[in-house]
Every structure is written in C-alpha cells, then in structure tokens.
Amino acid sequence: MPHDVPLQETRGAAAVRDDRRAGGWRLEHSYTTLPPLLFSRVTPTPVRAPHLVIFNTALAQALGLDAVALNSSDGASVFAGNSLPYGADPIAQAYAGHQFGGFTTLGDGRAILLGEQITPEGRRVDVQLKGPGLTPYSRRGDGRAALGPMLREFIISEAMHGLGIPTSRSLAVVATGEPVYRERTLAGAVLTRVAASHIRVGTFEWAGAHRDTAALTALADYTRQRHYPELADHPEPHLALFDAIVERQAQLIARWQLVGFIHGVMNTDNMAVSGETLDYGPCAFMDRYDPLTVFSSIDQQGRYSYGNQPAIGQWNLARLAEAMLPLFDAVQERAIELATASLDRYAERFQQHWLDGMRAKLGLFAAEADDAALVDDLLAWMERAGADFTNTFRDLSSPEARSSDEAFRTWESRWLARRQRQPQTEEDVRARMDAHNPAVIARNHKVEGALAAATERGDLSPLERLLSALSRPFDRTRDLTEFAPPTATDVPYRTFCGT
C-alpha cells in the first residue's frame, strides 16, 4: 500500500522531533535579528565528564521545562554544552564596559546564550551557559568557570529571588570533570543562568564605541520593546527608555541597600538594563553594619563598597547616557542637556525608594518629615555598636530581643513615639516589619561552609539546607539558629579575582 510509506516516514520524523523536544524547550531567537556587530555565533566546547551538581526543579517547572527529563545525565549533557537543546542557536554577545572606571571592550568571554525560552506564561527569558568554553571574546581567558564560584552565584541569585529582588536565576550547575587553572587547580563547572535578558549598559557602550548609530538605534528599540513595552507609543522613545532604565536602577539598588547586599563588581558590563541584578562575582551580604564594607580583594579603593553602590549606580548610568547621546538629539548640547536632566532625577528616585523601604522595615506607614533622620540615627548607632544589619531590623519586631544598649534605647523611644502617632494596630506594624526584614540571609560564613562541603567533600547537604532556608527568608516560624551571624572564630570572606 503506497500511502503507508509516507505515513511511516511522517510518524518516524515526528517521533524524532518529539525526542529532541524532550525537555520542554521552546527556544526563540529575537536577539539574532539585531545587527551582527552585537553578537557572534559560537558552539560550546564539550567537556569530559559532565554531571549535575545541582538542579533547580522549581525554576525548571516555571520555565515550562520537563524537570524530570532534565534532572538526568541527558540534562547534564545539555547544561554542560555537550549537546544542544532543541531549537538552540548559540551565540556570544558583544559588549564593552567600564571596569573599575576604565573603558574596555569585552563580550561574553565565557558565556554562551542558547536562546530565549518562552515560558508557559509567555515570558521570554535568556538561557545562558556560563563557563562553556572559548568564544571570540575570550581574550586571554580560558572560557571556563570553577565549581565554587558557580555554586556561589547559584546560592546568592536564588537568595535574592527569595527576597523578592529582581535578579537573574540559576537553573543548574554541572561539574565538567575537567580542571580549571586559577591560583590553584579547581574543579571546572558550567552554570545555566536564566535572565530577562543579558543586555547590559556595556552593550550600549559597545555600539556607541563603534559609532554605529544604526546598531545603537536597533539595540535601543529592541531593549524598549523587550523590557519596557509600556513605552511603545512614547513620542521620545529613546529618552523615555533611558529614563525608565534610570528608574529601575534606582529601585534595584535601593532594594540591595535595604537587605545589605553588596554586588562587588558594579562595572558597567555587569549592569543589566532590564533592572535585574546580574553577574554574581565577589558579592555578599553584609553582617555588621559598615558602609565601607567590600568583599572583592581587588577593590582596594572601596569603589564598590556597600555605601558607594548608589553613587556608582548613577556613574554607570552616566556611561549609558554617553553611549545613547546620538539617539537623544542630533544637536549634542541639547542631547547632553536632556540626558543630564534625566540622570539628575536618579538621586531623588533612589532616595525615595530607599526611604519608603526603610519605613516599611521600621513598621511605618505614612511619611513624616523626620523619617530620614530616624533611619540615619539607627544606622549611625549600628555602625558605632558594630550591630548586625539584618538582625537589628529583624529584632525590632520582638521587644525582648532588642539591644539594651543605652544609645539604642534612646533611639527606640523616638521610634516608639513615632509609631504611636500612626493609626495602625500593633499587628499591622509587626506584619509590615516581618514582611520587609528577612529572618535569614545568605551569610558569608554559611555560604563558604556550604561551598567547602560541596567542592572539597562532595557533600551537598549544607548547600541544600541553606538554599531551602533562603527560599523563604521572611518565615520566622523555623529554627534559624544555624544561620546566625558569624562568631569571632568564623573566617572573614574576601574573594580573589578568580571568580
């Protein structure tokens, strides 16, 4: 029967397609419609012996991926770059950046974008491998990543997500079975990162540095459509885009400050224009309150210290403005005027988000004129007393846990008087504080302990316990003594360049 043949063939092809589709991949490639200046096609370099160290089942499900099929040796192969998921079109993205103040051309030297997964809700998110081998932008690097830093990114990004702070996510870490050579020989790994996109301030700087206005315009239009669709009909679309990026950064950095998060390398190539936290290197959460806290050993000047983050945010946005200038107005003076006006709003927007957040942490509802002074005085006390940032706020909900220090008591009576002036009940106040003051954060000594257990002993249980605690940071109903601040015997954390 002649019609059997094509029918069989069709069935066979469908079966193959189903097989390749296994995993739930729905990858699209809008970025590759941009001018070729902005990316290069590449393929991951296979590794010797991939095995999954950690897999984020909840995230996989949220992405519409088949968590069961991917939590396997097949998944390890995909997340190592040894086999490509169905529909992948891998590229490395080009970008430049200001690193510690100096301009450099960069690009994904050790990252490969597989494509954009369309989630069941219709969201478009980048799926990127970090550490999958050389790209045209690798310069003198090896294109690889080490297991410890990739697990660190996994922990901290998931902790930020748990706190409700916009961030890239971590889907999987695969050990490659190959060494990487840093100060020491380390186990190699690949992280699968998921982000709204990987378009950075540095991506605009790249187009700007090439004086390629067509590419710059295409990038701006693309960014606006992808991340700021509400600006579609704006009469000044490029300026409106810049304004919106400024607003999201002001909000994001305020959120960092409110939980004591220190990014560590806020170079312009690590600032995502989507408003998500991106590129976790020598990042950490502060224990004792000290605005000068830094964690990166190469940050000698404290450029990226906790207290300097808001100002560096604005500095980075000024670099974005410079790159975008040709889009704002054909007359350069006019373009500069417009950009400056927008940039000048950053400080006020940051202060607004920060103060609103601080009010919530103190259980305050409406604004009063002296609120900023009330917050500043609490922080000044914390700094003098060497008080733990997270726990000082957390303990505001529990009168018996608060400090008995005399200076604190003076501040406390002002705060209580301030609370008396608002109509909300004690329960309302406590609920507001509890929803904004985490009971647990990813403290360095716990992160380091979990990484040491995983990388030195192959023991993942401390990492899993930590991740589980961090997934619900505002839940106080558990025993959290294990995650208390470090004691004198805990070694202070500093990362060295080799992230």
Tell which residue, 271, 245, 227, has the closest CA to residue 116.
227
Q: Which of 279, 287, 299, 395 binds Mg ion (CB under 5 A)?
A: 279
205 lies in the site for ligand AMP, by CB under 6 A: no
Q: By beta-carbon distance, which residue lies closest to ligand AMP?
A: 141
Task: Tell me the window of 26-34, 87-95, 127-135, 264-272 that interacts with Mg ion (CB under 5 A).
Answer: 264-272
SS3 readout for 343-407: HHHHHHHHHHHHHHHHHHHCCCCCCCCCHHHHHHHHHHHHHHHCCEHHHHHHHHHCHHHCCCCHH
157 lies in the site for Mg ion, by CB under 5 A: no
Tell me which of Mg ion, ligand AMP, none is bound by residue 120, counting a contact when its beta carbon lies within the kind-specific cut-off of 5 to 8 angstroms: none
265 lies in the site for ligand AMP, by CB under 6 A: yes
Tell which residue, 233, 232, 205, has the closest CA to residue 326.
205
Q: Which residues pair with 179 in a beta bridge?
A: 187
Task: Tell me the window of 115-123, 179-187, 270-278, 350-358 that interacts with Mg ion (CB under 5 A).
Answer: 270-278
Please give the backbone phi and psi of residue 218, each rounded to the nearest 5 degrees, phi first: -60, -40
- CA dist., res. 44 & res. 226, Å (int): 26
Tokens of 251: 């909000």
Q: Which of 281, 326, 363, 473 binds ligand AMP (CB under 6 A)?
A: 281
- CA dist., res. 124 & res. 413, Å (int): 50
Q: Which of 243, 247, 276, 279 binds ligand AMP (CB under 6 A)?
A: 279
Q: What is the contact mask toward ligand AMP in residues 219 to 258, using x (rule: CB under 6 A)?
A: ----------------------------------------
Measured distance between the N- and C-terminal CA atoms of the chain, rounded to whole angstroms? 63
Residue 258 three-state SS: helix
Half-sphere exposure of 10 (CA within 13 A, CB side): 5
Residues 92-121 that bind ligand AMP (CB under 6 A): 106-111
- Report in angstroms how near the CB of residue 104 gets to ligand AMP at its nearest: 8
Size of the site for Mg ion (CB under 5 A): 2
- Report in angstroms how near the CB of residue 109 gets to Mg ion at its nearest: 9
- Name which of 186 and 252 has its Cβ closer to ligand AMP: 186
Say whether 356 is catalytic: no
Half-sphere exposure of 27 (CA within 13 A, CB side): 22
Tell me which of Mg ion, ligand AMP, none is bound by residue 143, counting a contact when its beta carbon lies within the kind-specific cut-off of 5 to 8 angstroms: ligand AMP
Tokens of 326: 């040709």
455 lies in the site for Mg ion, by CB under 5 A: no
Q: By beta-carbon distance, which residue lies closest to Mg ion?
A: 279
Residue 466 makes CB contacts below 8 A (sequence gap 6+) with 155, 442, 446, 447, 450, 483
- Name which of 247 and 269 has its Cβ closer to ligand AMP: 269
- Report in angstroms how near the CB of residue 42 gets to ligand AMP at its nearest: 12
Pairing of strands 124-130, 111-118: antiparallel
Q: Which of 90, 115, 143, 310 binds ligand AMP (CB under 6 A)?
A: 143
270 lies in the site for Mg ion, by CB under 5 A: yes
- Name which of 109 and 307 has its Cβ closer to ligand AMP: 109
- Name which of 271 and 470 has its Cβ closer to ligand AMP: 271
For residue 55, the tally of other CB atoms under 10 A from its CB is 20
108 lies in the site for Mg ion, by CB under 5 A: no
Estimate to the nearest angstrom the gap between the alpha carbon of 263 and the chain centroid.
Answer: 9
- CA dist., res. 304 & res. 295, Å (int): 9
Asked if residues 80 and 47 have their Cβ atoms less than 8 Å apart, the reply is: yes
- Name which of 108 and 243 has its Cβ closer to ligand AMP: 108
**Which residue is catalytic, options 269, 279, 299, 395?**
269
144 lies in the site for ligand AMP, by CB under 6 A: yes
- Name which of 180 and 433 has its Cβ closer to ligand AMP: 180
Task: Tell me the window of 135-143, 298-306, 338-346, 399-407 that interacts with ligand AMP (CB under 6 A).
Answer: 135-143
Tell which residue, 125, 114, 151, 17, has the closest CA to residue 62.
125
Instruction: Point out the residues that are catalytic.
Output: 269
Residues that bind ligand AMP (CB under 6 A): 106-111, 138, 141-144, 265, 270, 279, 281, 499
Residues that bind Mg ion (CB under 5 A): 270, 279
